[in-house]
Structure formats: C-alpha cells, structure tokens
Amino acid sequence: MGSLRSVRVTVDSGSCHGHQMCAIAAPEVFGSDDLGYATVLIDGDVPADLEKKVRRSEANCPERAIRIVD
C-alpha cells in the first residue's frame, strides 16, 4: 500500500499585490485580508481533491507569491 502525498501552501505576503487570481482559481483555499491581499484559509495539508486547484493558483499568480511545499 502506497503512502499518500500531501502538500501545504503559503502566500508570500511581501510579494502579493492583491490580484486575487489564487482565490478565483481555488476559493476553498484562498481568501483575502482587510487590505485585499491573499490569505490561506486552510491550516495544514491541502485536501487531495483541491491540490490541482492550488497548483493552478500557483501557476497563475502574477507575482509568484504562492508557494507549495510537497
């Protein structure tokens, strides 16, 4: 039996410009703070069924502020 792979996601708040491309791609995972900058709504591992959306968010971030840790 193989082990399940898990990923975690963070946002580099110093790089984020608040375009919210991440929240558009994965609203279950990303939100925004009071100033409109991206925040991660999930503590811990990203559910496997949302990983593809998180990777799309990372790829579409204009500032490359999304970090995925495998």
CATH for 22: 3.30.70.20
pLDDT of residue 1 exceeding 70, the answer is no
Within a domain: 38: yes
CA nearest to 18, candidates 52, 65, 55, 69: 65
Per-residue confidence band for 6, with pLDDT thresholds at 50, 70 and 90: confident
Identify whether the C-beta of residue 29 lies closer than 8 Å to the C-beta of residue 53.
yes
Distance CA 36, CA 17 (A): 8
Within a domain: 24: yes
Within a domain: 1: no
Its pTM stands at 0.88
Within a domain: 61: yes
Question: What pLDDT, on the 0 to 100 scale, is given for residue 3?
Answer: 42
Domains held by the chain: number: 1
Within a domain: 2: no
14-69 pLDDT, tens digit per residue, is 999 999 999 999 999 999 999 999 999 999 999 999 999 999 999 999 999 999 99
Within a domain: 17: yes
Question: What pLDDT, on the 0 to 100 scale, is given for residue 58?
Answer: 96
